[in-house]
Amino acid sequence: MKNIFGGGCILLDIKPVKYEGLDCLDSLLSTIAAYWGHQYELSFAQTWRFDYISSKDNTLTLGKRIVQNSNTIIKLFKNYHNIALTRYYNYDVDLLNNIKSNIQRSIPVGVWLDHFWTPWHESFKTAHGSHSFLIIGYDESNNLICTDPYYLKENCILTPEQLRNGYKSHVFFHLKGNEEKIINWGSIIINNLNATYSKDFPVALYNNIQKFANEILNNFNIKTETDGYKIIEQAPIIWNLAYVMINRKRYSCMLNYLGKKYSADILHTVAEKLEMSYNYWSEVRALVLKSYFDNSLKIEANLYEKIMKIANYENNIAVELLNACHNLV
């Protein structure tokens, strides 16, 4: 702990840590892990996935049928890196005192706040949304001092009123002990891919992406997908495709960590290929966006072709990775 503002201020010495391409939750985990001298990358061991819900009655848009399933990240953060999160969704009168109590014990607090009430956010007082960051201190006026790992901003000031007005949820962190020792990286990968899909991972991944491609070809309507969303990036088809991309970046991050730790070149090779898949999904998302701004475009066949190319590409990568793991174990 250090006191750089003087008086009644307490400020934890926490520097933001960010892996490029990941989201604000991931940046919270990487920052708190670094603060306690732990890693975070194995949290992403089940993020390579594509989950798509079939809907016979068409009550859900195609975008809403893409499921993020990011809850495994917090679970694996605890299992592998021994840092637990307890998340709360109700603001109460004791929250400010509870935050200060954690800070006094040298434990930062994670907060999800509406952009509209986040002073350093580009959407401050202009648009709504959700963003997370760390509270790492407070001053003599009860203003909260924050670090925002996603935007790499430090010593941001948040007033108690802004916290109350913009509050969405908060998390308390718990350091449980030392990190789990990895005996065999191949087993880590195999076990988590098996946990992602109970059946053959490459086949399940391919089938799910293929379902989405078929729906795009037969049922895609950009007006239906974006109706009611003033900010186009918040429409589920755009938002969830962004998370499909992020999940490829997450898994690549995990592979690069294991590859470096265990001098396994094959993991760096697969990570590079997943980075390419990130780019391919980005092309899909960009084409959907293009159709929003020019709804005269007929993109279904083009989208189908691009998505099926990804399905085959990722299937081959998965087979390559699993073969390498089985050779090791």
pLDDT single digits (tens) 78-101: 999 999 999 999 999 999 999 999
* Mean pLDDT in residue range 41-69: 90
Higher per-residue pLDDT: 169 or 5: 169
Contact, 224 vs 61, CB < 8 A? Answer: yes
State yes or no: pLDDT of 20 exceeds 90. Answer: no
Residue pLDDT, tens place only, 192-237: 999 999 779 999 999 999 999 999 999 999 999 999 998 899 999 9
Which of 8, 28, 291 lies closest to 146 in space, CA to CA?
A: 28
pLDDT of residue 3: 46
Distance of alpha carbon 41 from the chain centroid = 12
- Report the pLDDT value the prediction gives residue 328, as an integer from 0 to 100: 79
Residue with tokens 């407070």: 138
Res 7: pLDDT: 57
Mean pLDDT for 281-309 is: 95
Query: Over the range 96-131, which residues count as b (16 or more CB within 10 Å of their CB) and which as e?
Result: beebbebbeeebbbbbbbbbbbbeebeeeeeeeeeb
Look at residue 1 in the predicted model and tell me its pLDDT.
46
Q: Model confidence at 6, in pLDDT bands (50, 70, 90)?
A: low
Residue 272, number of CB atoms within 10 A of its CB: 12
CATH 3.30.1300.10 for domain 10-37+83-175: no
Instruction: Give the chain's length.
Output: 329
Q: What is the DSSP letter of 168?
A: E
pLDDT, tens digit (0-9, with 9 covering 90-100), for 119-138: 999 999 998 999 999 999 99
pLDDT beyond 70 at 4: no
Against a cut of 0.95, is the pTM above it? no
Return the pLDDT at 180.
81
Domain-by-domain residue ranges, the chain?
10-37+83-175, 185-328
pLDDT at 45 over 50: yes
For the chain, give the percent of residues with pLDDT over 70. 97
